[in-house]
Structure 1
């Protein structure tokens, strides 16, 4: 009888914990969303940035499609995958700064004193960023469709593009959280992310095919997880369901996410009170 009671109470405790975590995440997500709603300029920037990546770079380098072996019927079609992944990268890389501001103002310490699981404060920001960047990616894909880009894999491929973007964003967000809890102030955060962000973007297949890069840049691009995310999305947009490319993308992003999450878990264990 006691064994039966124990086995029944175990799932009950897990179910109760799940409900508590859901409520905590819902409350914290409401905080991030409410903050975003109070900043209309931020909302406008988040909506405009994907269009800028797509239209500005798409037309700036449009002549490249006529003089070089750029895949796709147009450079805008080639650029769509790069615009999706670059937008996710920039948003997730800066995502941890809000927690850093909370640390500087003392709000994070007061939140840790509240009767909530500490990890919920961090993971809710993680979930918020993944949802936000997925919405931005959907806007890019819709805008690209309006200007003539057609997707070889249809609606299912668009869902797969969003999944690839979310997997890549998870790793980048983890690194941003590492910076947020490792640095002393936001004055250190922005120079580091600025220094890292631009080179990683250019040493990827976002703007030009890897085949057109110098040999030393090809090596760096092959080590860049952004390249693998872009290649997976681009394959879905231009070529269809190429399982070899998708398998390589999934493997590279899984390794990237595991390394980033392990680093974030180690830092959070040391920094969370």
Structure 2
């Protein structure tokens, strides 16, 4: 299975390398959020209780996590294209491990998310963002982005294999992206949110990723604040990958 996973991952990465402009386009929106919001709302830190010295530094974890979520939400489109072209069905009649097909998808999305996250971190650093947590904090930030990206990639693949309609994936992405982002501490401190929104953040995986990353990036991290939401996100990622694998097996039986 390991060899099959390596070969399938190599195949997906070749396709990724052939379209480098895709990575550029996925970075445009995060750059807009980073620099537009970072400058437009930079005086928010003057509000009592906000608790940050720099708004740009504050929003970096949220923008990285949001970028991972937004780009991975479209994974189901790629799955649908492979179904429509017959590529996926051709793999089903080969000896390649069925798990390797799904694992390669997860690995490719993780590598893409890592590259995107590093670029955003470097862009923000060049603009004046500070990372007191150092390389360890940045590593945790990227790991949280990968885990959240895995959750939404697996969900998108599940929907793609079940409904096989682009409109459904587009509608689902539109429905989830901004509400989940704004019901989190991506752009606003939790203490300044309405009570009902503060309650919802506790059940929002986007907020788990943002809070774990932000805690790790502080000068003296409380690793309990990192591990607890990080562990919850890991469990959710495992469950969604399992769900997408089960859906794939159901699809296999239908062809």
Query: Is the TM-score greater than 0.5?
Result: yes
Equivalent residue, structure 2, for 1:252: 232
Equivalent residue, structure 2, for 1:166: 146
| Structure-2-length-normalised TM-score | 0.90
Question: Is contact 2:184–2:201 with CA below 8 Å preserved after alignment?
Answer: yes
Q: Find the partner of 1:86 among 55, 66, 74.
A: 66
| Structure-1-length-normalised TM-score | 0.85
SS of match in other structure, 1:150 = coil
Supply the distance in 1 between the matched residues of 2:7 and 2:30 (Cα, whole angstroms): 28
SS of match in other structure, 2:164 = coil
Report how many residues are paired: 253
Shift of residue 109, structure 1, vs aligned partner: 1.1
Equivalent residue, structure 2, for 1:54: 34
Is the counterpart of residue 180 in structure 1 residue 160 in structure 2? Answer: yes
Supply the distance in 1 between the matched residues of 2:147 and 2:27 (Cα, whole angstroms): 21
Could you list the runs of 5+ residues in structure 2 that have no partner in the other structure? none
Supply the distance in 2 between the matched residues of 1:201 and 1:242 (Cα, whole angstroms): 24
Shift of residue 140, structure 1, vs aligned partner: 1.4
Supply the distance in 2 between the matched residues of 1:31 and 1:71 (Cα, whole angstroms): 46
What's the CA shift string for 1:22-42, capped at 9, x where partnerless? Answer: 3x3333333333333333432
Runs of 4+ deviating beyond 6 Å: none
Question: Is contact 1:97–1:180 with CA below 8 Å preserved after alignment?
Answer: yes
Question: Is contact 1:170–1:257 with CA below 8 Å preserved after alignment?
Answer: yes
Question: Is contact 2:151–2:240 with CA below 8 Å preserved after alignment?
Answer: yes
Equivalent residue, structure 2, for 1:204: 184
Question: Is contact 1:64–1:70 with CA below 8 Å preserved after alignment?
Answer: yes
The CA RMSD over aligned residues, in Å, is: 2.0
